[in-house]
């Protein structure tokens, strides 16, 4: 792709003999906000470290702005990285932490103070500039780590779970702040998360990873509504996924007629898409939970546990109540087995 | 509360054995008489004054001070990078290296001294002074590596990576991020090394020659000839010096955290 700003080509990354990421290909456009999403241990941090130059590449190529940087040392790549563990400098104040990079390249004092103050204000730490990291909360430290990278106006900013330590309100604020920053500065951003809602809310494109391999890339809309594999669907909240064979649903306890025909080897339904009340399948309520606008049921059926969300206005069923449900053709999502 | 008395007894005995000799030396040095004795034969400060007039003491104090300061510095210059490498890199045989580094503490000083004399000074014609310098550096090295290692272990390595991404070279990351965060440990290692070197006897015993003697050795040979209270006075002064250094360090650095 010619418009790729960051381009990973057949990238293989290993720790000793253990290959963490085998042959990854990914093109990121300039100014794009990309989310790396995936379960713990799938290689998100490893990929980030390779882009930043902190990890030797076993084979493959990394290009940034059309230039091959595979062998360029980390301090010459102009990439910012916010560490999962913050990695702040404990002997320096918040201000000096943020100003570290500017001091290093001998930025004029007035300029340094202005840019550092600006960055600290952006992340809402202006009033804590003389604190040391040990005197700050986890969320404040995380924001300081972000400010420290932002000050350098990097071409590419990598964020390893940048919002994981913030409370719900701050998280939303920082989300908005990150989006605003990205829009205003046009920095290309890659952020890691294992929270699908965060990835969907923030990113232009979401990269879903699994065991070092990209499972699916797409816009939030594409990933949410049209996951291609059972793994992706599971990650996107399709909690009822079944393998299909000859128009029957395969389950541990036996096969049940699907009621319509399909070519897909696998079908998935979100809890909200299962129809409760009447239908071909019998079940018993295991648990009911109140969730504001709807009730969340878990049913025991011949297909195993079924998760169903039902509008709060509908009549409630108690635990142990016998119910019937249907898996409608209209809301079934065809999937690859994985 | 009467059952507490054994504790008080043990505490009292411990303090007596720890501080007792120190008090005896101070008092013995304050004698008005002419021979080293306890209890002192009257009281005066003349022996404390005399210490400063004995030429050889001045020379040996100078030598010991030089060895303690520069031997320890040399040990730190070797020891800090060594500790860093042992902690940060996957060096094959790191455990063996750690043991080898500790050898000078484990092997009796007499053997180290003899070995240096027999295989360094005699065949290679190295000056006694150089041999002393090497010996003291080697003796202090284990402390330098150990103390610095323990403060490095508490320092996460991702901090250096963060510094590199902000533009540092590996060396700059070390001087700007690692060093400031282990400076307490480095100072503790320096003080420990200083005191160890200054009080060292067995190795230095073998490495002394005309006009080249460390302070403790010089005191020993002085006593062989002149059995007067000036040695006690000098010992007391040196003890005060060491205690003062350690106290200052403790006060400013929380020295005992590192050892
Ligand atoms: N230093 C290391 N040495 C050996 N293996 C490692 C090392 N770091 C990570 N791994 C392995 O590489 C794989 C990818 O790890 P990575 O840290 O990239 O996961 P991650 O997606 O960032 O997970 P998390 O969400 O938990 O941070 C894992 O299987 C992990 O066990
Ligand atoms: Mg990670």
Question: A299, A269, A268: which is closest to A286 by C-alpha?
Answer: A299
A141-145, A279-283, B151-155, range with the lowest pLDDT:
B151-155
Geometric angle at alpha carbon A124, from A49 and A110, rounded to 5°: 85
> Residues B206, B108: contact at Cβ < 8 Å?
no
As a whole number, mean pLDDT of residues B55-82 equals 92
**Which strand (E) or helix (H) includes residue A276?**
strand A275-291
**Cβ within 8 Å of residue A258, ≥6 positions away:** A244, A247, A248, A249, A267, A327
Tell me which of A81, A112, A145 to substitute to probe the interface with B (most B C-beta atoms closer than 10 Å): A81
Q: Look at B25 and B164; give whichever has higher pLDDT.
A: B164
- What are the pLDDT digits (tens) for A146-184? 999 999 999 999 999 888 877 888 888 888 888 888 888
Average pLDDT of the residues in B133-148 = 90
Contact A89 B165 (CB under 8 A): no
* Residue B167: closest C-alpha in chain A: A75
Residue A33's pLDDT is 93
ipTM over 0.90: no
For residue A39 and ligand 1, the question of a CB distance below 6 A is answered with no
- Give A189 or B27, the one with higher predicted confidence: A189
**Which ligand ends up closest to the CA of A46?**
1
The predicted pLDDT at position A139 comes to 83
Q: Which two tokens stand for residue A154?
A: 């990097």
Which atom number of ligand 1 is nearest to the Cα of residue A43?
18
What is the average per-residue pLDDT within A116-135? Answer: 92
A133 Cβ below 6 A of ligand 1: no
Q: Report the predicted TM-score, pTM, of the whole model to 2 decimal places.
A: 0.81
Query: First vs last Cα of chain A: how many Å apart?
Result: 28
Render pLDDT for A258-283 as a digit per residue (tens, 0 to 9): 888 888 999 999 999 999 988 899 99
**pLDDT category, B258, cuts 50, 70, 90?**
low
Question: CB–CB of A85 and B163 under 8 A?
Answer: no
Identify which ligand lies nearest to the alpha carbon of A36. 1
Residue A100 pLDDT greater than 90, yes or no = yes
In chain A, the percentage of residues whose pLDDT exceeds 70 is 99
**Ligand 1: does its nearest atom lie under 6 Å from the Cβ of A21?**
no
- Cβ neighbours of A294 (radius 10 Å): 17
pLDDT digits (tens, 9 = 90+) for B11-57: 999 888 888 888 888 888 888 888 777 787 778 888 888 888 888 88
CA B247, CA B254: separation in Å to the nearest integer? 10
pLDDT of residue B257: 54
pLDDT over 90, % of chain A: 74
Q: With a 6 A CB cut-off, is A45 part of the ligand 1 pocket?
A: yes
Asked whether residue B226 carries a pLDDT value surpassing 90, the answer given is: no
pLDDT, greater one: B201 or A12: A12
Residue A85 pLDDT grade (very low, low, confident, very high; cuts 50, 70, 90): confident
Mutate to test the pocket of ligand 1, among A19, A21, A35, A45 (most ligand atoms within 8 A of CB): A45
Using CA coordinates, name the residue in chain A closest to B178.
A89
**What is the average pLDDT score of chain A?**
91
Judge: B165–A81 Cβ closer than 8 Å, yes or no: yes
- Quick check: CB of A40 below 6 Å from ligand 1? yes
Pairing of strands A33-37, A188-193: parallel
Interchain pair A88, B159: CB under 8 A: yes
Does residue A42 have its Cβ closer than 6 Å to ligand 1?
Answer: yes
For residue B183, what is the nearest residue in chain A, using CA coordinates?
A91
- Which residue in the set A79, A83, A104 is minimally distant from B158, CB to CB? A83
């Amino acid at each position: 792709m010619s418009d790729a700003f960051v381009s990973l080509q057949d990238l293989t990354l290993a720790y000793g003999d253990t290959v963490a990421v085998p042959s990854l290909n990914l093109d990121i456009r300039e100014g794009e906000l990309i989310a790396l999403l995936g379960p713990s241990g799938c290689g998100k941090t490893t990929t980030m470290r390779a882009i930043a130059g902190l990890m030797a590449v076993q084979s493959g190529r990394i290009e940034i702005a059309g230039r091959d940087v595979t062998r360029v040392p980390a301090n010459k790549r102009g990439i910012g990285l916010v560490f999962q563990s913050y990695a702040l400098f404990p002997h320096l104040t918040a201000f000096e932490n943020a100003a570290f990079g500017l001091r290093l390249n001998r930025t004029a004092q007035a300029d340094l103070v202005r840019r550092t103050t600006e960055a600290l204000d952006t992340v809402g730490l202006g009033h804590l500039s003389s604190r040391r990291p040990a005197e700050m909360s986890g969320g404040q430290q995380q924001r300081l780590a972000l400010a420290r990278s932002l000050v350098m106006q990097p071409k590419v900013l990598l964020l390893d779970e940048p919002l994981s330590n913030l409370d719900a309100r701050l998280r939303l604020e920082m989300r908005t702040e990150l989006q605003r920053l990205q829009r205003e500065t046009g920095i290309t951003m890659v952020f890691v998360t294992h929270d699908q809602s965060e990835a969907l809310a923030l990113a232009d494109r979401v990269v879903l990873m699994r065991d070092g391999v990209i499972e699916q890339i797409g816009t939030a809309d594409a990933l949410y509504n049209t996951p291609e594999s059972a793994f992706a669907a599971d990650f996107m909240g399709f909690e009822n996924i079944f393998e299909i064979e000859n128009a029957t649903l395969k389950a541990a306890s036996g096969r049940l007629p699907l009621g319509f025909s399909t070519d897909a080897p696998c079908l998935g339904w979100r809890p909200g898409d299962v129809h409760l009340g009447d239908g071909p399948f019998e079940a018993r309520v295991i648990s009911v939970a109140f969730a504001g606008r709807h009730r969340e049921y878990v049913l025991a059926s011949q297909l195993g546990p079924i998760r169903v969300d039902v509008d709060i206005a509908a009549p409630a069923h108690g635990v142990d109540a016998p119910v019937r449900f249907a898996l409608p053709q209209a809301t079934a999502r065809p999937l690859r087995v994985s | 509360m009467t059952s507490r008395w054994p504790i008080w007894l043990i505490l009292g005995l411990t303090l007596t054995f720890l501080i007792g000799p120190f008090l005896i030396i101070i008092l013995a040095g304050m004698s008005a008489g002419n021979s080293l004795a306890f209890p002192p034969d009257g009281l005066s400060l003349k022996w404390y004054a005399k210490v400063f007039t004995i030429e050889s003491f001045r020379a040996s104090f100078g030598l010991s001070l030089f060895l303690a300061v520069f031997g320890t510095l040399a040990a730190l210059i070797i020891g800090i990078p060594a500790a860093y490498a042992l902690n940060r890199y996957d060096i094959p045989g790191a455990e063996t290296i750690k043991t080898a580094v500790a050898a000078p503490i484990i092997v009796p000083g007499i053997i180290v001294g003899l070995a240096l004399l027999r295989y360094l000074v005699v065949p290679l014609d190295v000056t006694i002074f150089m041999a002393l310098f090497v010996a003291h550096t080697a003796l202090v090295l284990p402390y330098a590596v150990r103390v610095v290692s323990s403060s490095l272990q508490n320092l996460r390595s991702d901090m250096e990576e963060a510094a590199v991404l902000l533009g540092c070279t590996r060396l700059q990351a070390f001087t700007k991020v690692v060093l400031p965060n282990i400076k307490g440990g480095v100072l503790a290692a320096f003080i420990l090394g200083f005191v160890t070197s200054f009080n060292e006897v067995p190795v230095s015993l073998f490495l002394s020659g005309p006009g080249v003697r460390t302070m403790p050795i010089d005191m020993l040979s002085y006593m062989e000839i002149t059995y007067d209270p000036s040695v006690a006075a000098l010992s007391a002064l040196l003890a005060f010096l060491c205690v003062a250094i350690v106290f200052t360090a403790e006060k400013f650095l929380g020295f005992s955290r590192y050892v």
